[in-house]
């Protein structure tokens, strides 16, 4: 149950004459607690905003995550990307026991059944290419993808998910890691999938949930998006998206099969949780098997 009093203090801290109208929880996020509120400004105008409080896992990995995400959103908004406006950051822990940021409430929704899939994929690819057009020099406060994967392949887990061929995938990747990078490092969203894209009237209006942002090879994020689109919309959509992205970028794609395998490791021991029901899990497992089979076929040549 939500306690209203902290949000009353929050809106007055932003402006002593603000007045809280209502508060409600938002569902869907797992790595952060997301709460919406509506307040009235001194002139009587009502405005909705969102409070983001990061989860314990993210805070342990990066105690400055609220500050970093706020700073990142400021960079992205000034660069013209479709992200929520960052309004306020509070690290004092006076109102809530952990730091939080206040961002724009975007009037949009995720879309897993677009009326015009071709246009949906075009916008998806265009926005991803825009993110990858930002060089890593502007984001030196973010973790590096190379470090994350170096740790991932330093030691094989005691158990691997053989139902997703994790052992076979690791055999290939561990033999060639560290992977020689042929592309400049860029900003990566870190979890660019349909669940983090908000749409309104067929237009992609906001990219949300930037807590996993990092810098690294753009192919790593392309690979993750390829698998997510395969799961959501099928093989033809994945291939169309890939071609659209390639038409918008000037990259060396030689290592894409290896990054595809990296993407295929992400759902290990998590696919049932991600799927949510048995029908979706069966579809995701079948498409995952096809995904890695076509990668192994490419590498064998």
Whether 100 and 121 share a structural domain: no
Whether 163 and 266 share a structural domain: yes
Domain stops at, among 76, 104, 132: 104
Cα–Cα nearest to 112, from 224, 237, 264:
237
Q: How far is CA 91 from CA 9, 18, 78, 127, in A?
A: 15, 21, 23, 31
How confident is the model at residue 169, as a pLDDT?
97
- Contact assessment for residue 39 and residue 49, using Cβ atoms and an 8 Å cutoff: yes
Domain stops at, among 48, 82, 104: 104
**How much is the mean pLDDT over the chain?**
95
Whether 122 and 175 share a structural domain: yes
How confident is the model at residue 246, as a pLDDT?
98
Whether 98 and 124 share a structural domain: no
Whether 79 and 158 share a structural domain: no
Whether 85 and 158 share a structural domain: no
Does the pLDDT value for residue 280 go beyond 90? yes
Whether 144 and 98 share a structural domain: no
Q: Is 236 inside any structural domain?
A: yes
**pLDDT tier, 178 (very low <50, low <70, confident <90, very high otherwise):** very high
Residue 229's domain comprises 117-300
Whether 98 and 169 share a structural domain: no
How confident is the model at residue 28, as a pLDDT?
62
Q: Is 222 inside any structural domain?
A: yes
**pLDDT tier, 184 (very low <50, low <70, confident <90, very high otherwise):** very high
What's this model's pTM, rounded to 2 decimal places? 0.95
Does the pLDDT value for residue 287 go beyond 70? yes
How confident is the model at residue 32, as a pLDDT?
87
Count of structural domains, the chain: 2
**pLDDT tier, 80 (very low <50, low <70, confident <90, very high otherwise):** very high
Q: Give the Cβ contact number of residue 141 at 10 Å.
A: 14
Backbone angles phi, psi at 21, to 5 degrees: -100, -45
Whether 54 and 121 share a structural domain: no
- Contact assessment for residue 69 and residue 101, using Cβ atoms and an 8 Å cutoff: yes
How confident is the model at residue 29, as a pLDDT?
61
pLDDT in tens, 15-71: 999 999 999 999 866 678 999 999 999 999 999 999 999 999 999 999 999 999 999
How confident is the model at residue 145, as a pLDDT?
95
CATH number, domain of 196, equals 3.90.1200.10
Domain stops at, among 57, 81, 104: 104
* Residues with Cβ within 8 Å of residue 105, at least 6 apart in sequence: 36, 47, 48, 49, 50, 84
b (16+ CB within 10 A) / e for 80-116: ebbbbebeebbeeeeebebbbbbbbbbebeebeebee
How confident is the model at residue 18, as a pLDDT?
94
d(CA 270, CA 166): 12
How confident is the model at residue 121, as a pLDDT?
98
Place of tokens 């929520």: 84
Place of tokens 């400049």: 184
Average pLDDT over residues 198-202: 98
- Residue 89 DSSP symbol: E
């Amino acid at each position: 149950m939500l306690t209203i009093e902290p949000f009353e203090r929050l809106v007055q801290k932003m402006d002593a004459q603000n007045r809280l109208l209502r508060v409600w929880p938002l569902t869907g996020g797992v790595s952060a607690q997301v709460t919406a509120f509506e307040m009235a400004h001194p002139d009587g105008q009502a405005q909705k905003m969102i409070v983001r409080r990061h989860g314990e896992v993210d805070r342990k990995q990066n105690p400055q995550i609220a500050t970093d995400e706020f700073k990142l959103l400021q960079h992205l908004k000034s660069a013209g990307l479709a992200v929520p406006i960052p309004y306020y950051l509070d690290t004092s822990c006076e109102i809530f026991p952990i730091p939080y940021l206040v961002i724009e409430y975007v009037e949009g929704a995720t879309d897993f059944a677009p009326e015009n899939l071709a246009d949906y994929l075009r916008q998806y690819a265009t926005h991803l290419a825009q993110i990858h057009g930002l060089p890593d020099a502007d984001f030196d406060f973010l973790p590096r993808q190379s470090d994350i994967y170096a740790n991932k392949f330093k030691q094989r887990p005691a158990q691997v998910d053989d139902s997703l061929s994790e052992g076979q995938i690791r055999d290939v990747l561990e033999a060639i890691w560290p992977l020689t990078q042929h592309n400049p490092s860029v900003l990566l969203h870190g979890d660019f999938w349909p669940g983090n894209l908000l749409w309104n009237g067929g237009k992609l209006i906001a990219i949300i949930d930037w807590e996993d942002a990092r810098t690294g090879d753009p192919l790593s994020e392309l690979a993750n998006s390829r698998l997510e689109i395969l799961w959501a919309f099928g093989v033809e959509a994945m291939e169309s998206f890939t071609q659209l992205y390639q038409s918008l970028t000037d990259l060396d794609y030689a290592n894409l099969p290896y990054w595809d395998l990296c993407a295929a490791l992400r759902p290990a021991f998590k696919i049932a949780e991600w799927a949510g029901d048995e029908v979706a899990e069966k579809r995701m497992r079948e498409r995952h098997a096809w995904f890695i089979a076509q990668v192994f076929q490419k590498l064998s040549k």
